[in-house]
Structure 1
Amino acid sequence: MRRLPVYLLLDTSGSMRGEPIEAVNTGLKVMMSSLRQDPHALETVHIAIITFDAEAKLVVPLTPLDELQVPEIVTPESGPTHLGMALELLVGRLKRDLIRSTPERKGDWAPFLFVMTDGKPSDTMLFEDHCPIVRRQGFANIVGCLAGPKARRQDLEPLCDHIVSLDTMDSAAFNSFFKWVTSTIAGGSRSMGLQGEVPLPPPPAEIQLVI
């Protein structure tokens, strides 16, 4: 069975401390539980999680859905938002992780990338340098999530195909976001092989589709 790689880049900067990161942890658990109830997703989906604050960390390497143990995501008391560093780490992981198609065999399906942040990248130059590199990696969709009032559309536009926004950073908002991510991944796992960009499901009322 060909794999569907899914990469989650999660902001763990100081401003995510407290209720926001607790809501993210709850949302991740709900997402994994829901995906495991989808037989096709269970066979194809592999997930990796990268967090970013003052540094970027691979907290979950690309792992089959049925083997994935979701760790508790934590944040420092304060610190910057090094999204550029996370993209740099992502590009390195893609070179290691992805099975590319050859004349002799079919490789992975085009991967998905979800980026969630509540602020502007602190490492602006590194972020700007890596946006075009990431976009050349052949993702089926790159989806950004702006969490809270300080995150701005223009900061993610160079990277993402689609951007959604959450007006609040409470558990209800993050649960809605991760449930929508679940639907997107599950739909992607069933539509692999279609030509062109994989369509996104309609977001719930708590999520605004920006682009």
Structure 2
Amino acid sequence: MRRLPVYLLLDTSGSMRGEPIEAVNTGIRVMVSALRQDPHALETVHVSIITFDSDAKVVVPLTALDELQVPVITTPQSGPTHLGLALETLGARIRREIKRSTAEEKGDWAPYLFVMSDGKPSDIQLFEEQCPLIRSIGFASVIGCVAGPKARKEDLQPLCDHVVSLDTMDSAGFTSFFKWVTATISGGNKSMGTTTTVALPPPPPEIQVVF
């Protein structure tokens, strides 16, 4: 069975401390639980989680849904938002983890990338360098979420095919976002090989598609 890799890049900078990161943890649990109830997703979807603050950490390497142990994600007391470093880390992981098609064997399906941040990248030069490199990988879709009042769609627009906005950073908001991520993955999972375009499901009221 060909795999459908899904990469989550999650902002864990100091501004995410407290209720926002607790809400993200709740949302991830909801997403994994829902995907596990989809038999086809359970067979094909593999998930990786990379967090970024002053550093970029591979919290979960690419792992099958039925083997995934949902982590508890934490944040430092304070610190910058090194999204560029996270993209550099992602690129290295992709080269190691994704199976490319050969003449003898089909490789993985084109991966999905979801990026969530509540602010502008701190390492803007590295971020700008990494955006075209990440886009050249050939993701099925790169979807960004700008969360909270300080985040702007322009911060993620150079990287993403689509950007959604989440005004509230509470449990209800992030749970809605991760449920929408689940629907996006499940929809793409069912249409693999039948279309070259990715249609996003309608977002819930808490989420606005801004790009």
TM-score bucket (shorter structure): over 0.9
* Partners of 1:114 and 1:194 in 2: CA distance: 22
1:95-147 residue CA offsets vs partner (Å, 9 max, x unmatched): 00000011111000000000000000000000000000000000000000000
TM-score normalised by L of structure 1: 0.99
Aligned partner of 2:53 in structure 1 is 53
What SS class does the counterpart of residue 57 from structure 1 fall into?
strand
How much identity, in percent, do the aligned residues show?
Answer: 73
Aligned partner of 2:206 in structure 1 is 206
> Structure 1 counterpart of 2:48, which letter?
A
| Alignment: residue pair count | 211
* Partners of 2:167 and 2:3 in 1: CA distance: 34
Shift of 1:194: 2.3
**Structural mapping, 1:1-211, within 5 Å:** 1-211=1-211
> Structure 2 counterpart of 1:26, which letter?
T
Unaligned runs of 5+ in 2: none
* Partners of 1:39 and 1:11 in 2: CA distance: 30
* Partners of 1:70 and 1:129 in 2: CA distance: 31
* Partners of 1:71 and 1:206 in 2: CA distance: 25
* Partners of 1:197 and 1:99 in 2: CA distance: 21
What SS class does the counterpart of residue 34 from structure 2 fall into?
helix
1:152-172 residue CA offsets vs partner (Å, 9 max, x unmatched): 111111000000001110111
* Partners of 2:194 and 2:92 in 1: CA distance: 27
Backbone CA RMSD of aligned residues: 0.5
1:15-37 residue CA offsets vs partner (Å, 9 max, x unmatched): 00000000000000011000000
* Partners of 2:71 and 2:102 in 1: CA distance: 35
* Partners of 1:92 and 1:126 in 2: CA distance: 15
> Structure 2 counterpart of 1:160, which letter?
C
What SS class does the counterpart of residue 187 from structure 1 fall into?
helix
Shift of 1:85: 0.2
Unaligned runs of 5+ in 1: none
Q: After TM superposition, what 4+ stretches of structure 1 lie above 4 angstroms from structure 2?
A: none
TM-score normalised by L of structure 2: 0.99
* Partners of 1:84 and 1:157 in 2: CA distance: 14
